[in-house]
Structure 1
Amino acid sequence: MKKLTILFLFLILFPFPTFGEEDDVTKIEDVVITGTREAQPLKETPATVNAVKGEEIKTVKPTHPSEVMNRVPGVYINSTGGEGHVTSIRQPLTTNPVYLFLEDGIPVRSTGFFNHNALYEVNMPAADRIEVIKGTGTALYGSDAIGGTINTMTRPAPLTPEIEVNPEIGGYDWYRLLLSGGNTWDDDGLRLDFNKTHSGGWRERKRYDRYSTTLRWDHLFSGDTNAKTILAYSNIDQDTSGGAPLTRTDYDSRPTYSYHTFDYRRVEAFRISTTFEKELSEAKLISLIPYARWNKMDLLPEWGIFSVGGNNYRGYESTTKFYSIGLMAKYRQDFEPMRSRLIVGADLDHSPGKYDEKRLIVTRNTSTLKYTSFTYDTSTANNYDYNANFTGISPYAHIELSPAERLRITVGVRYDDMSYDYKNNMSVSTNRPASTKKSFSHLSPKIGATYAFTGDVSIFASYNAGFRAPSSGDLFRAGGTATTSVDLKPINIDSYEAGIRSRVGNVITFDGSAYYMQKKDDIVTYKPATGDNQRLNAGKTEHKGIEVGLETLSFNDVSLGVSYSYAEHSYTEWKVSTTTNYSGKEMSAAPRENLNTRLNYTPAFLNGGLMEFEWVRLESYWMDDENTVKYDGHDLLNLRASYNLNKEWEFYAKALNLTDKSYADRASKSGASEALFAPGQPRTFFAGLTYHWGK
């Protein structure tokens, strides 16, 4: 805690020399969109918000979401194979539903059907901008927005005809084709983006195929009325064990090996939405966003295979399907006194879903350790077949006012009413609860303030209450805890943060924040001395840390970017059996420090291109909740370079893990079991051409 305090004092004191008189340099004011679904000055936003702009996305040309997202202070995403990922934002690396993933402000998936891999359903390489709100966010967002919100924004239609073609090849049978094009005719603009990706994988069972299409249509009805329609489709077919862990011996001696032979994931995701906006006057705006989703995932996961004693193993095969219809309605009015702003609205989501799961009997070769085949278990005791219809109704209000010129106060409240209509299509058992209806409600107050010392330096502080409703899997896929899991309640969060933003002209930008978050009523699987396991709202956790970002513009053709975070995640109350209690221990998979440093060089001989050196450092973390074994952490170096042949053609190349460092994407240990390591990608080269036709 002493280290954290010293670092936060540095945050506050570092920018203060800029409090002097402002020079005559024209300032470029940063704006953010996600908080209120409208552009607003960043300096008047009482939250930690970071943006990855389109130019940086084009520079990185990410082959995985982590390549671009890990540049954001306090964000760490790792790979689980293909473009699958596990995220850490003010939380440990986790697959739990504590993050909200948006596309143009609309949730990619329904609250009831969270998937930690949701970013692979978004065409991130074609994004115009990505914004990250860390913490529980504004009143416009509800369940799952705990650790953070990631909003990927599509590119608008070009004003003149434009075509972009980007073929790319890489190591381990990698190839990708990105296509983009569009035009504007009178009051209508269209853009089409296409992504076809294939990877053979650097290790066994790491094949990945994906294609995505995004169509955006912008229409101007009149000077004060417009509409934006987005249609997005993704199809993913991959082996899931490309990120599977190995024993320490195999991790060190044969990292390309896999114990698995028949795992798979097949995903289809379709979304359509239309955003209608009408300015009733200069001070009034109404926004309506009807949307629909359809999603299907067939899954036979490697992580679902487990031992039932001796050389006897089980697994599962499942299908998850849901569709959604929803509406996001918002009204905003500005008032002259104190530059006041009122936003009221409501979010509606109805998402019927179905889940089927079959238990597998798995055969393992004891000499090779490979799981070689499976048959379906004739017993249905551990199978699932149910329908779960999720409905959410969430009104909210958001108020901003400035009682003094430099002071901006924000107050908000959100009320979430959510329900599941669950129908069990099989017999009732300790695994399967009886058909039922469950409902949850939660009131989430928010308050924050910003104060601008000058046009270049501002501070903010906020308190936000948040929550996470139990997912359909939490409630109805009980795994032997049906009698208690069906009675789970929402997890409650109290989040406090304070921060500072500073810039020196248009040359240096600096932002830093400190946060404290407490989660109560977290979901614990408890094993009593006798009887069935129980799923209870009995856990408390504590999360605190700092996040620092520094960017410089080019000086003598050199620019620098630094993202640093320090975090402590611990169990306050976490008793999992009569003999095992993790209270007071640090949470596993929770690295304390995370550093990303970029050095860009843009010499004239690259003809508008650049060279970028990137250093990624991940500190050590506990591999188990008992805090007995640590992963040492790692340092990785990446190199990117581009050269503009002319105004139409760009050549680029990059090397990831330039020094061919041996490292683990994930490292874990459970109880008395052997420690396991998921090997990270070795040195890999990529190269591509971009052809751009148009102005």
Structure 2
Amino acid sequence: MYKLLLPLLLVSVSRLYAQSDQKPDSTARMLQEFIFTASRGEGIKRADAPLAISVISTKNLKDTRATSAEQLLNKISGVNMVTLGNEQHQMSIRQPMTTKSLFLYLEDGIPVRTTGLYNHNALLEMNLAATRTIEVIKGPSSALYGSEAIGGVVNFITLAPTEQPSLKLALQGNNIGYKRGDFSSTFTTGKLGFAIGGYYADKRNGFLDYTDFHKGIFTARMDYRFTERTTLSNSATWLNYYSDMTGTIDSSMFATHTFKNQQTFTYRKVKAFRYRSTLSHQWNNQSNSSLSVIYRNNSIGQNPAYRIKDDYRRQGNVYVGNKELAHGEINESSFNSYSLVAQHRLQLSWKRAVIIAGVSTDLSPSDYTAEYIRIKKDTLESKYVSYQAPDSLLSNYSTRLENMAGFVHLELSPVDPLRVVLSLRYDRFRYDYNNHLDGSAYSGAPDAVNRFSRVSPKIGLTYSFTQRVGVYANYSQGFVPPQVTEMYNGVKVPQLSPAVYDNYEAGAWFNSANGKMSADLSIYRLEGKNAVISVKLDDGSFANQNAGRTLHKGIEAGLKYNPWGDLSLRFSGAYNKHVFVDYVEKGVDFNGNEMNNAPNWLYNTEIICRPSFLPGFRIGAEWQHVGSYFADPANTDRYEGYDVLNLRAGFSFRSFDLWLNVLNATDEYYSVITSKSNFGYSYQLAEPVSFNVGIAYDFSPLFKHRK
């Protein structure tokens, strides 16, 4: 790995200095562009941020014409967003592919969900039609954003009002049942500015039966400028989502290419509303303040495929139970969230210092219910065909979650060109749990109150040799408190502590003087402790405990190269290793094993041609590689991974944009995530080749010529 990357670094640096007398192009100005996630919404230059951060630009969004977020995020080195179909997903950023609460998802710097109620599908609640850019921080950022910012932070930055009116419409669809319509518009009148955007997507009769879904999402933003120094920004997002829940297939189905879904009634439906109002005031050229009020309303109802268990099962050396019977549940998790964030930024002439400080509070009452269902199974077709819902509640509880925090962020330059960044945050949590049923093995723990607190530090530095070459290093700590389901879905409330991750990182970036080449490199070591795992007790029962240490380390590299004006190349790659250091789960010792679902190698490479003899035309090819990995923590079996080729072509003519995206162009047959347990293998099928055709029209030039 190092033998491959070091020559790349040396060659790039030599080219940089060999071409130092040439005029820099737009690529070389990348490090002078502003990013926002690295300093809580206050724009800073990329070269001043001592961390690994990547940006999906507005141009990337337009050229890709993505139907879901993984088609964008997987272009970033070290990111592997696993699609589970219909915008459902898992994530892997400096962590194995997982559903655990190790990633923080933001919209304009505000968490999409509240702490303690993480959902691995949270990005299906985002609105790509109203997204301007996406910023991704890799590694812990709890000192800036609090809990769950462990593997990374993904921040969707929405459209802002523009002086020049705009209106854009788009339609697209593919050969496997997907159809979608997008719209967006921005304009300003007097002191008022507006930006709206949304889309409706629908899929029916896909390649696999019972995989339909629909999603409607709409975002509206209104800015009002009281004076040149005082503004009020309001934004709201509405979501209505429904998807059939397909589940996975077993090893015999996967081996024989049997496209048969066992499910006929499982589903997931999400309704969400988010509102943010931010009052900003600039006291002078060196000082500004903001106050944000946030409200969230969210409910997820589901008849989950992963909760279905056959009654017929192996017990010792014999099988027992009814082959035509299975057990499942219908559940719903909902919450309301009321948050307040106050922040002040002060810029000093001394050492070019910048101080950002603030406080936040979040109150989120939540409810959870689960109802038992009795399922009939057709053994000949191997399908779950119907269910009955007896009057039997498995769970019915509410939890009042409170989080209060204070944070301070300091940047200064003791000597030029050294930049030092210090961040510190204190979080205090209170979970007030109320079980509406009598405590039992099925209904959960008795009433309880649990408290957690944590101080999260971060220190980093950057050193710029020139405007085009620099290095950085940082130490940061991330934490995640126990989730509500980990605390209270049991007979006893366990005494759990937050999981803590220590991150050590170094990196470099450079741009060639002629602007044709840019590259970045980061090396990290992430040590985790106090992970919440299920432990087998002496009496044979299981309980959640803080037990275990894990180690995550790797190297990430990105390269962009424009050999000539018509052609651009991009390489994003990472080598990671995730290891159980001290980990005993359910009585089994995994010490020294590699973590399951953790590919070592990840690549994403893209080539795009924009021929000068055909203005407005673009054509590109993208290759994604996910390396082999162990399917189980015991390291008994590997899945070979996969390679997938995506082709994209588009043509912009006047106000029209036409495109054709061929995803999985070679029609590879593979599983996006493969796992092994005591019940056997499970495979999540990838979609076959799809031809996505779209057309967009930009009405903005019509407004430009209006008098």
Output the TM-score relative to the length of structure 1. 0.95
Q: 1:6 to 1:439 in 2, by over 3 A?
A: farther
**Aligned position for 2:317:** none
* Distance in 1 between residues matched to 2:461 and 2:453, nearest whole Å: 27
Residue 623 of structure 1 pairs with residue 631 of structure 2: yes
Secondary structure of the 1:139 match is helix
Which residue, out of 452, 469, 477, partners 1:465?
A: 477
Instruction: Write the mapping of 1:217-366 to structure 2, written as runs, cut at 5 A.
Output: 217-241=222-246, 244-308=247-311, 309=313, 310=321, 311=323, 312-366=325-379
Q: CA deviation at 1:11?
A: 6.8
Which residue, out of 671, 690, 696, partners 1:690?
A: 696
Q: CA deviation at 1:378?
A: 4.8
**Aligned position for 2:81:** 77
Secondary structure of the 2:482 match is coil
* Distance in 2 between residues matched to 1:22 and 1:86, nearest whole Å: 47
| Residues 268 and 295 in structure 1, CA contact (< 8 A), matched pair in contact too | yes
**Aligned position for 1:395:** 406
* Distance in 2 between residues matched to 1:462 and 1:693, nearest whole Å: 46
* Distance in 1 between residues matched to 2:103 and 2:305, nearest whole Å: 24
* Distance in 2 between residues matched to 1:55 and 1:518, nearest whole Å: 36
**Aligned position for 2:13:** 16
Q: CA deviation at 1:520?
A: 0.4
Residue 450 of structure 1 pairs with residue 474 of structure 2: no
| Residues 46 and 461 in structure 1, CA contact (< 8 A), matched pair in contact too | yes
Alignment deviations for residues 158-204 of structure 1 (CA, whole Å, 9 cap, x no partner) = 32222111011211221100011131112211111120000112211
* Distance in 1 between residues matched to 2:67 and 2:34, nearest whole Å: 28
* Distance in 2 between residues matched to 1:262 and 1:557, nearest whole Å: 51
Residue 477 of structure 1 pairs with residue 482 of structure 2: no
* Distance in 1 between residues matched to 2:465 and 2:142, nearest whole Å: 24
* Distance in 2 between residues matched to 1:52 and 1:24, nearest whole Å: 26
Secondary structure of the 1:56 match is helix
Q: CA deviation at 1:430?
A: 3.1
Secondary structure of the 2:584 match is coil
- Which residues of structure 2 form unaligned runs of 5+? 314-320, 702-707
Secondary structure of the 1:403 match is coil
Secondary structure of the 1:204 match is coil
Residue 404 of structure 1 pairs with residue 415 of structure 2: yes
Residue 586 of structure 1 pairs with residue 586 of structure 2: no
* Distance in 2 between residues matched to 1:82 and 1:675, nearest whole Å: 23
* Distance in 2 between residues matched to 1:569 and 1:377, nearest whole Å: 44
Which residue, out of 110, 117, 128, partners 1:113?
A: 117
Alignment deviations for residues 250-280 of structure 1 (CA, whole Å, 9 cap, x no partner) = 1233443111111011110100102222111
Q: Which amino acid aligns with 1:214?
A: T
| Residues 362 and 374 in structure 1, CA contact (< 8 A), matched pair in contact too | yes
Q: Which amino acid aligns with 1:693?
A: F
Residue 371 of structure 1 pairs with residue 371 of structure 2: no
* Distance in 1 between residues matched to 2:287 and 2:670, nearest whole Å: 54
* Distance in 1 between residues matched to 2:423 and 2:657, nearest whole Å: 47
Q: CA deviation at 1:357?
A: 0.5
Q: 1:86 to 1:75 in 2, by over 3 A?
A: same
**Aligned position for 1:595:** 603
Q: 1:404 to 1:423 in 2, by over 3 A?
A: same
**Aligned position for 2:555:** 546
Q: Which moved more, 1:403-412 or 1:548-557?
A: 548-557
* Distance in 1 between residues matched to 2:562 and 2:211, nearest whole Å: 39
* Distance in 2 between residues matched to 1:375 and 1:444, nearest whole Å: 48
Output the TM-score relative to the length of structure 2. 0.94
| Aligned residues with identical type, % of pairs | 30
Q: CA deviation at 1:591?
A: 0.6
| Residues 606 and 643 in structure 1, CA contact (< 8 A), matched pair in contact too | no
| Residues 400 and 410 in structure 1, CA contact (< 8 A), matched pair in contact too | yes
Q: CA deviation at 1:373?
A: 1.5
**Aligned position for 2:705:** none
Q: Which moved more, 1:154-163 or 1:343-352?
A: 154-163
Secondary structure of the 1:16 match is helix
The count of aligned residue pairs is 681
* Distance in 1 between residues matched to 2:225 and 2:11, nearest whole Å: 46
* Distance in 1 between residues matched to 2:402 and 2:365, nearest whole Å: 8
Alignment deviations for residues 336-390 of structure 1 (CA, whole Å, 9 cap, x no partner) = 111111111112111111000012222222221111112224554xx10001111
**Aligned position for 2:675:** 668
Q: 1:577 to 1:121 in 2, by over 3 A?
A: closer
* Distance in 2 between residues matched to 1:377 and 1:541, nearest whole Å: 43
Q: Which amino acid aligns with 1:679?
A: L
Q: Which amino acid aligns with 1:522?
A: A
**Aligned position for 1:195:** 199
| Residues 140 and 149 in structure 2, CA contact (< 8 A), matched pair in contact too | yes
* Distance in 2 between residues matched to 1:8 and 1:169, nearest whole Å: 40
Instruction: Write the mapping of 1:124-203 to structure 2, written as runs, cut at 5 A.
Output: 124-137=128-141, 139-200=143-204, 201-203=206-208
Residue 59 of structure 1 pairs with residue 63 of structure 2: yes
* Distance in 2 between residues matched to 1:238 and 1:577, nearest whole Å: 33
Aligned-CA RMSD value: 1.6
Which residue, out of 659, 663, 667, partners 1:656?
A: 663
Secondary structure of the 2:485 match is helix
Alignment deviations for residues 281-321 of structure 1 (CA, whole Å, 9 cap, x no partner) = 11111111111010011111111112343334211110111
Q: CA deviation at 1:9?
A: 4.6
Q: CA deviation at 1:225?
A: 1.9
- Which residues of structure 1 form unaligned runs of 5+? none
Q: CA deviation at 1:82?
A: 0.4
Q: Which moved more, 1:410-419 or 1:250-259?
A: 250-259
Alignment deviations for residues 389-435 of structure 1 (CA, whole Å, 9 cap, x no partner) = 11111101111111111100111111010111110000011341111
* Distance in 2 between residues matched to 1:161 and 1:123, nearest whole Å: 21
Q: 1:8 to 1:659 in 2, by over 3 A?
A: closer
* Distance in 1 between residues matched to 2:360 and 2:273, nearest whole Å: 20
| Residues 355 and 411 in structure 2, CA contact (< 8 A), matched pair in contact too | yes
Q: 1:514 to 1:334 in 2, by over 3 A?
A: same
Secondary structure of the 2:226 match is strand
* Distance in 1 between residues matched to 2:5 and 2:419, nearest whole Å: 23
Residue 558 of structure 1 pairs with residue 563 of structure 2: no
* Distance in 2 between residues matched to 1:202 and 1:155, nearest whole Å: 34
**Aligned position for 1:512:** 521
